[in-house]
Structure 1
Amino acid sequence: MSQNAQSICIIDDDNIYINLVKKIIEFKKLSRPILVFKNGKEALDFFVDSKENSKNEKVPQVILLDLNMPVMDGWEFLDEFSKIKNNSYKNINLYVVSSSIDTRDINRAKAIDIVSDYLTKPINLNDFEKILV
């Protein structure tokens, strides 16, 4: 495994996409642990718990966030995560990964200061290597 490999968190409700991403990451050895959450609420609960219980060593360095999910969508997650992301989570790179090519979604996501970039599904191997190595 590469010394530069980072832990990653996938927040997405699409099982096919999740399995594909996991297989690519594992095959190319681009990441150590891979956390998966099916909606923004599950992920937010994890980050709140990690912060409250000083479990920052388990917090991923990269988040791949879908926008359209049940329970709590990506926009709601971004709003809530912005409130808790401070020095504890300053080293997290958050990427919005969506099938939406609507420029309003892209511009809205990129305008949020905690978003590192907006990637359109399906993301390719070069995108993975760029953000994980």
Structure 2
Amino acid sequence: MYTVLIDDNATSLFLTERLLLHEGLSDTVNSFQSPPEALAFLLQQVPAGRVPQVILLDLNMPLISGWDFLEMLQRHEEQLQGQCIVYLLTSSLTPADNARAQAHPLVTGFLSKPLNKEKIQQIRDHVP
């Protein structure tokens, strides 16, 4: 399985990637600390049919927030639906963010940081 991980925090990025690999959720993790780089990568992959099965996206990032990222990615909703699930990873426990995530057509779930085995199982249960 192939996962794209986007988080502006280098420590969180490192630990989450290691946990995903250790728990066997992914064989390949493409990690990005820069949302613009992640978006450029995905916009090359999606039209070529190389869609990741999972995208883990931090909400609170500089330059491009997780919400902005989703807006840009939504143009490719048709290619992503049924092929890829998006989970928002955040330290925010704001009910408004959770409600917004539940209403977004690309978002499968909203998980608080840090990721753990139980949350990885929750992701695994939804992988297409």
Aligned residue runs from structure 1 range 103-122, under 5 A: 103-122=95-114
For structure 2, the residue ranges without an aligned partner over 5 or more in a row are: none
The superposition leaves residues 52-107 of structure 1 with CA deviations (integer Å, 9 ceiling, x where unpaired) of 4x2x23x3100110011122110100111111221x22211000110000101111
Secondary structure in structure 2 of the residue aligned to 1:21: helix
Matched, 1:50 2:45: yes
Report sequence identity in percent: 32
- Which runs of no fewer than 5 residues in structure 1 stay unpaired? 1-5
TM-score after normalising by structure 2: 0.88
Q: Name which of 53, 76, 85 aligns with 1:61.
A: 53
Q: Which has the larger radius of gyration?
A: 1
- Matched length: 124
Matched AA of 1:43: A
* Map of 2:15 onto structure 1: 20
Q: 2:34 aligns with which of 39, 42, 48?
A: 39
User: Aligned equivalents of 1:28 and 1:113: distance in 2?
Assistant: 27
Alpha carbon RMSD of aligned pairs, Å? 1.5
Aligned-partner SS, 1:104:
helix
Q: 1:130 aligns with which of 114, 122, 125?
A: 122
Question: Partner of 1:89 in structure 2?
Answer: 80
Q: Distance in 2 between matches of 1:32 and 1:115?
A: 22
